[in-house]
């Protein structure tokens, strides 16, 4: 669920501080503890407001289905916080990007073990941090190593190789953006 909120502030009010306060208060509610608060930079002219709302929506969409704990997001997520994820979200409908994602992830998308995708997603989102990935998935490190070996075997890649891991990560971001 997405809810758009427009904060109307006096010129002398600190938009960043008030937005951060809003995010803190929102997350204090039990049902909102994992809410993503996305914001655009302050707009001084009413004619710029629609572009600001579109920017905030783009940011929210880019991180909505991501494991927030793995991404280590700030309290208020802005365009500069989403980096590659934001770019891939913009390009998600390009047939070349779709083809690339399907080709790179084919071994996992067509296989019986769909539970390997979340492990791969977390592993890459944490910067290939095995300890953090094991912790987030509540598995032992040896169990995680077995899953990573299965992922590498099914994809035919070496996730310790930066370029191959980056390629798989971009494909996974594109796949997730296409699904969302």
3-state secondary structure of 3: coil
- Cα 47–chain centre separation: 30
* pLDDT for residue 62: 85
pLDDT tens digits, one per residue of 59-115: 988 887 666 555 678 889 998 888 888 889 889 899 999 999 999 999 999 877 778
Of 43, 28, 34, 88, the C-alpha closest to 61 is 88
DSSP string covering 49-107:
HHHHHHHHHHHHHHHTTS-HHHHT--SSB-HHHHHHHHHHHHHTT-HHHHHHHHHHHHH
Is the domain defined by 95-179 classed in CATH 1.10.10.10? no
pLDDT at 66: 67
Q: Where residue 1 falls among pLDDT bands split at 50, 70, 90?
A: low
Confidence of residue 9 (pLDDT cuts 50, 70, 90): confident
Domain ranges of the chain: 15-82, 95-179
Q: What is the pTM of this model?
A: 0.76
Q: What pLDDT does residue 74 have?
A: 87
Mean residue pLDDT of the chain comes to 90
């Amino acid at each position: 669920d997405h809810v758009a909120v427009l904060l109307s502030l006096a010129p002398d009010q600190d938009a960043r501080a008030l937005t951060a306060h809003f995010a803190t208060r929102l997350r204090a509610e039990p049902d909102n503890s994992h809410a993503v608060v996305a914001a655009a930079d302050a707009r001084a002219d009413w004619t710029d407001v629609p572009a600001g709302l579109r920017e905030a929506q783009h940011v929210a969409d880019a991180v909505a289905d991501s494991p927030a704990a793995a991404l280590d997001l700030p309290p208020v997520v802005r365009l500069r916080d989403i980096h590659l994820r934001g770019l891939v979200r913009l390009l998600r409908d390009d047939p070349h990007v779709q083809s690339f994602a399907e080709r790179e992830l084919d071994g996992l998308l067509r296989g019986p073990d769909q539970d390997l995708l979340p492990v791969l997603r977390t592993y890459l989102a944490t910067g290939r941090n095995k300890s953090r990935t094991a912790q987030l998935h509540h598995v032992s490190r040896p169990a995680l190593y077995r899953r990573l070996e299965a992922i590498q075997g099914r994809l035919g890649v070496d996730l310790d190789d930066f370029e191959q891991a980056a390629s798989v990560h971009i494909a996974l971001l594109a796949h997730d953006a296409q699904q969302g």
